[in-house]
């Protein structure tokens, strides 16, 4: 029981990270209908900028943890957003309105480029960050096994919930959210009604990148080890999460992310962990067999 | 445009580039991430370059680098031009090993290109003709390569025995993947195929007792010529190729022989793909791509159409895998990553989705592109990624465009 609970906590933490990345995929998919394959690399860049942020702040003498955390969060979100914006501007905007596979290939090219760019400028070696936030509490104890919940896990899950809530409100109530929903439904009509479509799409990429940066920061804090290659697997799994939940649906992305995190944690806890990714993809295939549009996705009705 | 807005635009570009470069180029973490050095001069150089570049680009009239959207893709010329070009390419391919500038490395590179072309043609059946996006094609490539490698290792089967068998096994795996995903559309299908590719790679990587794990399988036999090995020395009682023909042994013979085997297979597959497009099943693929609902309404069964596309495409991928294993003499899971699937997809898209000749061109370009970068080893993949983006922006529909269905209503096809 205690062991089960521990896997549950670990899975929720991991799932929160996937959910944050998955939102970026699902929003971009909703608005421009393309898989932003480079999004995983944006997350990786966010993790690197967070690490560098901590190192620089440490040198500057900012050692009070809450302040350092807040500063790094802002730095990572700001700089990673520029990457998100630039990727859209360079690789996707010229292809808007082109046929369906062109932006996908361009995105794959961008992803290879960004990965090798970070490899080149930061080196292939794994980077480690000593734990910034330590401590936690014991949730319960049974059968000689103690369920540990670290403060960091609380922060990660809490922050994800806050961001989600803020985000849903923004999409529902703000003028940017309205513009996004309008662009999603009909780009041409939205443009005719005076919505700056280019700006709306750019902002969508910026928001997605900022959330990926938060995920990057969390992974850096939680696992303490990053390298230039982490973006691929995290990106694929987050995209899997988005699809599992029903692509284009925000609550779906969160649900999918949490599910993927839980599957991964429970599989690693009870079965050989080398095969955890096989479990994730197998569940995806099974889920889609029975619900071809994802768990919360609306089935696509094709009009003739 | 006056000078002031030009400077303003250039300054904006410089600011963006500096913001991009500042965190990642400006600070270099050392090996374990415990400290860092600064490289602010590089950031300044990048910013300056962006400023100058944008300013110079502003001086060139736009029409020089941005053509009209409509003119951006070239339709295939009508008439006899294509068969003539195709024949010229085929003749060149046949003559390549005996041309004066030919070398062992060049023939080997041509073999690699051929393998990529075969893969491109195979994937084209699913993506280009049937319109089903497959992001895990390397899985079938791996199934083919590993079937041959493992059958040779455990049961001592030869290249020629395994070539049809590996194709069959790959086709079965194609049906295995096709069955659960029949109802899926577009990007749902894409992620499932990607997941399938990853599953195959992870299993190959971890099932060490059978597949050798990350170390892969070594000593894969080379193809023989009518049962005669092409080698310097043969086991007792076996005549080698050069003993039989009374020629001195030259390692070049082996490379050239494999090249011709691949070329023959490629020509056969090309002929097969061109023919099958004219058969009912091939026409059904294209009909399915254009409109699935109309397809159903006309009484075509999407299930069998999709499964046949998956199976045939996987079979061709399996053949390519056997050639790959025979060429390298070694297989490991590293050769079948997502990047490989992406490269093959890029060949199909760059080739123009459905154009056999376009895929030849794209296959040669993508197989040789990394070779050119050899001297700049560390920039190789960086340039590869950038080139993929640039080519897509320059020609979003590939080198040649043939999206038109093979059949037209006025009777001409």
Q: Which of A260, A276, A172 is nearest to B203 (CA)?
A: A276
Average the pLDDT over B65-87 and give the result. Answer: 60
Say if A171 is an interface residue toward chain B (CB within 8 Å). no
- Number of domains observed in the structure of chain A: 1
Strands A145-150 and A136-142: antiparallel
Overall size of chain A counted in residues: 304
pLDDT at B295: 87
Nearest residue to A76 (alpha-carbon basis) of A226, A257, A198, A202 = A226
Task: Give residues with Cβ within 8 angstroms of B113, minimum separation 6.
Answer: B363, B364, B367, B368
**CB contact A259 to B (< 8 Å):** no
For residue A128, pLDDT beyond 90: no
Q: Which pLDDT band holds residue A130 (cuts at 50, 70, 90)?
A: confident
Average pLDDT over residues A234-243: 90
pLDDT reading at B69 higher than 70: no
* pLDDT tens column, B229-255: 777 666 666 777 777 777 777 778 888
CB B345 within 8 A of CB B94: no
Contact B336, B344 (CB under 8 A): no
Q: Check whether B403 has a pLDDT greater than 60.
A: no
Q: Which DSSP symbol is given to B228?
A: B
In a domain, A245, yes or no: no
pLDDT for the residue numbered B374: 64
**Cβ–Cβ of A304/B180 closer than 8 Å?**
no
Whether residue A192 is predicted with pLDDT greater than 70 in this model: the reply is: yes
Cβ <8 Å between A128 and B32? yes
Q: Is residue A92 part of a domain?
A: yes
Which residues of A fall within a CB distance of 8 Å from B27?
A: 52, 55-56
pLDDT (average), residues A289-303: 75
Supply the pLDDT for residue A144: 73
Closest CA to B307 of B123, B176, B141: B176
Report the alpha-carbon distance of residue A98 to residue B401 in Å, rounded. Answer: 13
What is the secondary structure of A3-37 as a DSSP string?
Answer: HHHHHHHHHHHHHHHHHHHHHHHHHHHHHH----T
Cβ-Cβ contacts under 8 Å, A86 against chain B? 16, 20
- DSSP, residue by residue, A76-121: HHHHHHHHHHHHIIIIIGGGTTS-THHHHHHHHHHHHHHHHHHHHH
Residue, of A43 and B33, whose pLDDT is higher = A43
From chain A residues 30-49, the ones with a CB under 8 A of any chain B CB are 35, 45, 48-49
- Write the DSSP symbol of residue A299: P
Over the Cα atoms of chain A, what is R_g? 19
Nearest Cα neighbor of B286 from B171, B403, B133 is B403
Three-state secondary-structure class, residue A137: strand
Residue B71 has pLDDT above 60, yes or no: no
Q: What's the pLDDT score for residue B62? A: 62
Helix (H, G, I), strand (E, B) or coil at A138: strand
What's residue A115's pLDDT? 92
The pLDDT of residue B413: 41
Whole-number pLDDT of residue B408: 54
The whole-angstrom separation of Cα B55 and Cα A79 is 24
pLDDT at A39: 94
pLDDT of residue A45: 96
Identify the pLDDT of residue A266.
92
Q: Residue A121: which of B28, B342, B386 has the nearest Cβ?
A: B28
Q: What residues are paired with A137 via a beta bridge?
A: A149
Residue A4: inside a domain, yes or no?
no
Whether A50 contacts chain B with CB within 8 A: no
B185 vs A: CB within 8 A:
yes
Question: Percentage of residues in chain A with pLDDT exceeding 70?
Answer: 98
pLDDT of residue A99: 75
Residue position matching structure tokens 């980077």: A127
The pair of three-digit structure tokens given for residue A223, joined into one six-digit string: 């696992």
- Model confidence band, residue B404 (pLDDT cutoffs 50, 70, 90): low
Predicted TM-score (pTM) of the model is 0.85
Q: Residue B27 carries which DSSP code?
A: E
Q: How far is CA B127 from the centre of its chain?
A: 13
Most confident of A41-50, A177-186, A231-240, B183-192: A41-50
Asked if the Cβ–Cβ distance from A243 to B181 is below 8 Å, we say: no
Mean pLDDT over residues B259-280, rounded? 92
Q: Give the nearest chain A residue to B345 (CA atoms).
A: A105
pLDDT category at B202 given cuts 50, 70, 90 is: very high
Tell me the residue range of the domain where A57 lies.
22-231
Lowest mean pLDDT among A254-268, B53-67, B205-219: B53-67
Pick from A285, A281, A297: nearest CA to B182: A285
Q: CA dihedral defined by B203, B205, B206, B211, rounded to 10 degrees?
A: 90
User: Within 10 A of B310 (CB to CB), how many other CB atoms are there?
Assistant: 27
Residue B113 predicted with pLDDT over 50: yes
Among residues A86, A117, A121, A52, the alpha carbon closest in space to that of B42 is found at A121
Tell me which of A96 and B313 has the higher pLDDT.
B313
Residues of chain B above pLDDT 70, percent: 88
Residue A292 lies in a domain: no
Q: Could you give the ipTM of this predicted complex?
A: 0.85
* Token pair belonging to B409: 């209503």
Reported confidence tier of residue B68, pLDDT bands at 50, 70, 90: very low
Over chain B, what is the mean pLDDT? 83
**Of the candidates B83, B116, B110, which has an alpha carbon nearest to the alpha carbon of residue B97?**
B110
Side-chain half-sphere exposure of B24, counting CA atoms within 13 A: 28
**Inside any domain, residue A11:** no
Using CB atoms, pick whichever of B19, B24, B181 lies closest to residue A45.
B24
The neighbouring-strand residues paired with B36 are: B29
How many CB atoms lie under 10 A from the CB of residue B63?
Answer: 8
Q: Which residues of A touch B397 (CB under 8 A)?
A: 98-99, 102
CB atoms within 10 A of CB B205: 18
More confident residue, B231 or A113: A113
> A243 and A21 in contact (C-beta within 8 Å)?
no
Contacts of B185 in chain A (CB under 8 A): 292, 300
Tens digit of each residue's pLDDT (9 = 90 or more) over B338-393? 889 988 988 888 887 777 888 998 899 888 877 776 666 677 778 878 888 888 88
Report residue A302's pLDDT band, with 50, 70 and 90 as the boundaries.
low
Q: What is the separation of C-alpha A3 from the centre of its chain, rounded to a whole number of angstroms?
A: 27
Q: Taking residues B117-134, report their average pLDDT.
A: 91
> Residue B131 pLDDT more than 80?
yes
Out of A57-66, A200-209, B331-340, least confident range: A57-66
**Alpha-carbon gap, residue B292 to B132, rounded angstroms:** 11
Q: Please compute the mean of the pLDDT values over residues A179-204 and round it to a whole number.
A: 90
CB contact under 8 A, B385 and A114: yes
Residue A304 has pLDDT above 90, yes or no: no
Residue B289 is predicted with a pLDDT of 84
B70 pLDDT band, cuts 50/70/90, is very low
Query: Scanning every residue of chain A, which has its alpha carbon at the shortest distance from the alpha carbon of B196?
Result: A281
* Residue A65 pLDDT grade (very low, low, confident, very high; cuts 50, 70, 90): confident
CB contacts, 8 Å: A248 with chain B = none
| Dihedral of alpha carbons A21, A24, A30, A34, sign | negative
Token pair for residue B32?
């374990």
In a domain, A241, yes or no: no
In angstroms, the CA B176 to CA A66 distance is: 52
Rounded to 5, what percent of chain A is helix, strand, coil?
75, 5, 20
How far, in Å, are A247, B78, B87, B240 from residue B81 at the CA level? 44, 7, 10, 44
Chain A with chain B: Cβ pairs closer than 8 A:
189
Q: CA-to-CA distance for B268 and A238, rounded, in angstroms?
A: 41
Average pLDDT over residues A82-92: 93
The yes-or-no verdict on residue B290 having pLDDT over 60 is yes
Contact call for B192 and A285, based on CB within 8 A: yes
Considering only residues B39 and B31, tell me which one the structure prediction assigns the higher pLDDT: B39
Q: Do B381 and A116 touch (CB under 8 A)?
A: yes
> Within a domain: residue A82?
yes
Q: What is the pLDDT of residue A300?
A: 64
Residues 93..152 of B with a Cβ closer than 8 Å to A: which? 127, 133
Mean pLDDT in residue range B72-82: 57
- Centroid of chain to Cα B151: 25
Given CB atoms, is A18 within the 8 Å cutoff of chain B?
no
- Rounded CA separation A221/A219 (Å): 5
Question: A186: buried, middle or exposed (CB in 10 Å: 19+, 13-18, 0-12)?
Answer: exposed
Contact B23 A121 (CB under 8 A): no
């Amino acid at each position: 029981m205690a062991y089960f609970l521990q896997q549950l906590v670990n899975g929720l933490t991991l799932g929160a990270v996937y959910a944050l990345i998955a939102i970026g995929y699902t929003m971009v998919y909703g608005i421009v209908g393309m898989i932003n394959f480079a999004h995983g690399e944006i997350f990786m860049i966010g993790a690197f900028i967070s690490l560098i942020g901590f190192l620089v702040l440490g040198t500057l003498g900012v050692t009070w943890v809450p302040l350092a955390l807040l500063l790094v969060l802002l730095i990572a979100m700001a700089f990673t957003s520029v990457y998100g914006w630039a990727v859209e501007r360079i690789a996707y905007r010229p292809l808007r309105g082109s046929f369906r596979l062109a932006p996908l290939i361009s995105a794959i090219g961008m992803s290879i480029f960004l990965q090798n760019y970070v490899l080149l400028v930061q080196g292939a070696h794994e980077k480690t960050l000593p734990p910034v936030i330590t401590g936690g509490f014991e949730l319960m104890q049974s059968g000689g096994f103690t369920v540990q919940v670290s403060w960091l896990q609380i922060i990660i899950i809490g922050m994800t919930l806050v961001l989600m809530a803020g985000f849903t409100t923004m999409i529902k109530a703000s003028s940017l959210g309205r513009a996004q929903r309008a662009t999603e439904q009909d780009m041409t009509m939205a443009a005719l009604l005076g919505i700056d479509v280019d700006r709306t799409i750019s902002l969508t990429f910026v928001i997605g990148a900022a959330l990926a940066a938060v995920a990057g920061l969390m992974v850096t804090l939680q696992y303490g080890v990053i390298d230039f290659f982490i973006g691929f697997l995290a990106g694929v799994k987050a995209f899997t999460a988005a699809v599992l939940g029903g692509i284009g649906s925000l609550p779906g992305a969160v649900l999918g992310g949490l599910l993927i995190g839980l599957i991964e944690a429970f599989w690693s806890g009870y079965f050989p962990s080398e095969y955890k990714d096989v479990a994730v993809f197998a569940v995806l295939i099974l889920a889609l067999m029975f619900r071809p549009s994802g768990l919360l996705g609306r089935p696509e009705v094709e009009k003739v | 445009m006056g000078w002031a807005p030009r400077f303003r635009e250039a300054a904006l570009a410089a600011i963006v580039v500096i913001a991009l470069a500042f965190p990642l180029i400006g600070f270099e973490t050392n090996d374990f991430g415990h400290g860092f050095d600064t490289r602010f001069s590089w950031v300044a150089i990048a910013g300056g370059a962006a400023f100058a570049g944008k300013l110079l680009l502003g001086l060139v009239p736009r029409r020089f680098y941005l053509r009209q959207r409509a003119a951006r893709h070239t339709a295939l010329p009508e008439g006899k031009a294509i068969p003539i070009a195709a024949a010229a390419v085929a003749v060149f391919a046949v003559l390549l090993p005996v041309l004066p500038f030919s070398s062992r490395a060049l023939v080997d590179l041509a073999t690699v290109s051929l393998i990529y072309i075969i893969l491109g043609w195979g994937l084209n059946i699913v993506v280009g003709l049937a319109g089903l996006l497959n992001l895990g094609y390397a899985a079938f490539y791996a199934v083919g390569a590993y079937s041959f490698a493992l059958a040779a290792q455990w049961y001592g089967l030869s290249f020629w025995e395994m070539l049809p068998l590996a194709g069959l096994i790959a086709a079965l795996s194609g049906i295995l993947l096709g069955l659960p995903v029949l109802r899926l559309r577009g990007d749902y299908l894409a992620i499932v195929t990607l997941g399938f590719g990853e599953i195959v790679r992870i299993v190959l990587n971890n099932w060490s007792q059978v597949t050798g794990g990350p170390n892969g399988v070594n000593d894969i036999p080379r193809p023989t010529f009518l049962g005669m090995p092409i080698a310097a020395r043969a086991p007792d009682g076996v005549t080698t190729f050069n003993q039989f023909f009374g020629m001195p042994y030259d390692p070049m013979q082996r490379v050239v022989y494999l090249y011709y085997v691949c070329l023959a297979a490629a020509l056969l597959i090309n002929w097969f793909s061109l023919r099958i497009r004219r058969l009912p099943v091939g026409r059904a693929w294209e009909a399915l791509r254009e409109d699935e609902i109309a397809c159903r309404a006309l009484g075509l069964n999407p299930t069998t159409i999709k499964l046949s596309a998956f199976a045939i495409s996987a079979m061709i991928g399996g053949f390519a895998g056997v050639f790959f294993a025979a060429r390298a003499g070694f297989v490991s899971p590293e050769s079948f990553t997502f990047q490989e699937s992406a490269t093959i997809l890029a060949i199909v898209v760059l080739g123009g989705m459905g154009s056999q000749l376009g895929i030849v061109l794209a296959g040669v370009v993508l197989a040789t592109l990394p070779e050119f970068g050899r001297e700049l080893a560390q920039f190789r993949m960086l340039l590869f990624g950038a080139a993929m983006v640039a080519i897509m922006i320059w020609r979003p529909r590939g080198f040649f465009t043939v999206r038109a269905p093979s059949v037209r209503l006025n009777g001409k096809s």
